[in-house]
C-alpha cells in the first residue's frame, strides 16, 4: 500500500532534520525524503509518516531512530583524491612548509581534521599523502580526526574495504604500498593497510554541536561538500568555529562549489577553496 507524505508532514521533517543536522531540505527534496524514509516505516511496521515522526521524536527514547533517519537522508558521495588540486597544494606547498616549521620549532605533533569524512576516502587520501611526505612517521605524533554524522558511512570507513572501481584515482605505487587485495571472497576488493589506518581516528560527530570538544588545535581542516547542505547562518557559525580550532596560519579546505562569501569570516584567501587563518 502506498504511504502518502503530506506537505504538512514534510514540513515537520524539514524542521526536525534542520534542527538535528543543519541540513536544509528544499521542497524539491520531498519525493527523495519520502522514498528514503518509507523503508524505515516498513521496517518498523508503521502506517503513516505522522506515526513515524511521533516515534522518532517521542517514542524512541534511545535516540537510535534519529541516527537511522539522518543516515537515510544524508548524501555521502565521495571519492579518493577528490578535487586533486587540494592534494597537489598539500604535497607541493603546505606540507613542506609545515614540516619545516615543525622541525625548526622541534615540534612533532600534526593534527588534521576531515570533517564530514563520509565512507573514508578523504581521510585515507590524506593519510597516504602524510605517510608519503613525513619520513619516519612513527617518530612523529600524527593524527587525522575523521568525523561524520552518519554511523552507516563511518562503519564503512572503519572497515576500509573498497571495490576496485572506487580506486581508479589511486596510482599503482600508492595502491601497492597502502592496500592489500581482498581474499577469495573479495577478489574485486582492496583493503586499506594498518599503516594508513594507524594515524586515523574515526568518530561520530555532529557539526551542529554548539561547542567543539577539542583541546588542541588543527594544522589543517578539510570540510568539503558538507556545508553545501547548510544555510548561510549555519555556515557562518561553523566557519568561525573552524577558525577558532585551527592553529595560527592553519588552513581550511572547502568543496569546489562552496564559498566563504557572505560568512563574515576572518580567513585569508590562498587559492580557490583554500583559506588560511
Active site members: 36, 148
Q: SS3 for the chain, per residue? A: CCCCCCHHHHHHHHHHHHHHHCCCCCHHHHHHHHHHHHHHHHHCCCCCHHHHHHHHHHHCCCCHHHHHHHHHHCCCCCCCCCCHHHHHHHHHHHHHHHHHHHHHCCCCEEEEEEECCCCCHHHHHHHHHHHHHCCCHHHCEEEEEEEECCHHHHHHHHHCEEEHHHHCCCCHHHHHHHEEECCHHHCCEEEECHHHHHCEEEEECCCCCCCCCCCCCEEEEEECCCHHHCCHHHHHHHHHHHHHHEEEEEEEEECCCCCCCCCCCCCEEEECCEEEC
Out of 110, 146, 149, 239, point to the residue binding ligand SAM (CB under 6 A).
Answer: 149
Q: Does 234 bind ligand SAM (CB under 6 A)?
A: no
Least separation in angstroms between CB 276 and ligand SAM: 20
24 or 217, CB closer to ligand SAM? 24
Backbone angles phi, psi at 260, to 5 degrees: -95, 0
Options 21-29, 96-104, 162-170, 180-188: segment touching ligand SAM (CB under 6 A): 21-29
- In the complex with ligand SAM, the residue whose CB is nearer, 98 or 207, is 207
Three-state DSSP class for 268? strand
Using the rule CB under 6 A, is 80 a contact of ligand SAM? no
Is 9 one of the binding residues for ligand SAM (CB under 6 A)?
no
Total number of residues that touch ligand SAM (CB under 6 A): 24
Phi, psi of 145 (to 5 degrees): -85, 120
225 is an interface residue for ligand SAM by CB under 6 A: yes
Contact pattern for ligand SAM over residues 86 through 125, marking x by CB under 6 A: ------------------------------x-x---x---
Q: Which is nearer to ligand SAM, 118 or 127 (CB)?
A: 118
210 binds ligand SAM (CB under 6 A): no
Is beta strand 189-192 parallel, antiparallel or unpaired with respect to 179-181?
Answer: antiparallel
Only segment of 37-45, 74-82, 175-183, 239-247 that touches ligand SAM (CB under 6 A)? 74-82
- Confirm or reject binding of residue 257 to ligand SAM (CB under 6 A): no
Give the nearer residue to ligand SAM in terms of CB position, either 138 or 211. 211
Stretch that binds ligand SAM, among 26-34, 125-133, 142-150, 168-176 (CB under 6 A): 142-150
Under the binding rule (CB under 6 A), the answer on residue 206 touching ligand SAM is: yes
Q: Is 153 in the site for ligand SAM (CB under 6 A)?
A: yes
Assign 251 to helix, strand or coil. Answer: strand
| CB 107 to ligand SAM: min, Å | 28
Residues of the shown chain interacting with ligand SAM in the complex, contacts defined by CB under 6 A: 21-23, 74-78, 82, 116, 118, 122, 148-150, 153, 206-208, 224-226, 229, 255
Amino acid at each position: 500500500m502506498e504511504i502518502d507524505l503530506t506537505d504538512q508532514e514534510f514540513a515537520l521533517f524539514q524542521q526536525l532534520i534542520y534542527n538535528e543536522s543543519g541540513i536544509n531540505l528544499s521542497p524539491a527534496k520531498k519525493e527523495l525524503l519520502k522514498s528514503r524514509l518509507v523503508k524505515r516505516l516498513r521496517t518498523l511496521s508503521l502506517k503513516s509518516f505522522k506515526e513515524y515522526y511521533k516515534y522518532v521524536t517521542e517514542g524512541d527514547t534511545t535516540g537510535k531512530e534519529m541516527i537511522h533517519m539522518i543516515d537515510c537522508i544524508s548524501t555521502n558521495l565521495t571519492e579518493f583524491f577528490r578535487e586533486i588540486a587540494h592534494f597537489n597544494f598539500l604535497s607541493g606547498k603546505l606540507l613542506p612548509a609545515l614540516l619545516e616549521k615543525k622541525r625548526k620549532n622541534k615540534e612533532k605533533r600534526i593534527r588534521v581534521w576531515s570533517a564530514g569524512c563520509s565512507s573514508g576516502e578523504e581521510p585515507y587520501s590524506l593519510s597516504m599523502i602524510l605517510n608519503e611526505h613525513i619520513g619516519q612517521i612513527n617518530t612523529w605524533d600524527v593524527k587525522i580526526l575523521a568525523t561524520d554524522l552518519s554511523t552507516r558511512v563511518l562503519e564503512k570507513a572503519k572497515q576500509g574495504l573498497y571495490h576496485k572501481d572506487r580506486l581508479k584515482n589511486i596510482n599503482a605505487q600508492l595502491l601497492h604500498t597502502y592496500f592489500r587485495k581482498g581474499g577469495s571472497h573479495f577478489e574485486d576488493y582492496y583493503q586499506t593497510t594498518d599503516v594508513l589506518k594507524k594515524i586515523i581516528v574515526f568518530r561520530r560527530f555532529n557539526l551542529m554541536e554548539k561547542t567543539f570538544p577539542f583541546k588542541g588545535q588543527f594544522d589543517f581542516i578539510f570540510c568539503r561538500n558538507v556545508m553545501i547542505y547548510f544555510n548561510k547562518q549555519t555556515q557562518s557559525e561553523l566557519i568561525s568555529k573552524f577558525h577558532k580550532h585551527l592553529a595560527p596560519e592553519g588552513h581550511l579546505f572547502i568543496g569546489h562549489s562552496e564559498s566563504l562569501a557572505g560568512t563574515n569570516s576572518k580567513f585569508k584567501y590562498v587559492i580557490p577553496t583554500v583559506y588560511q587563518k
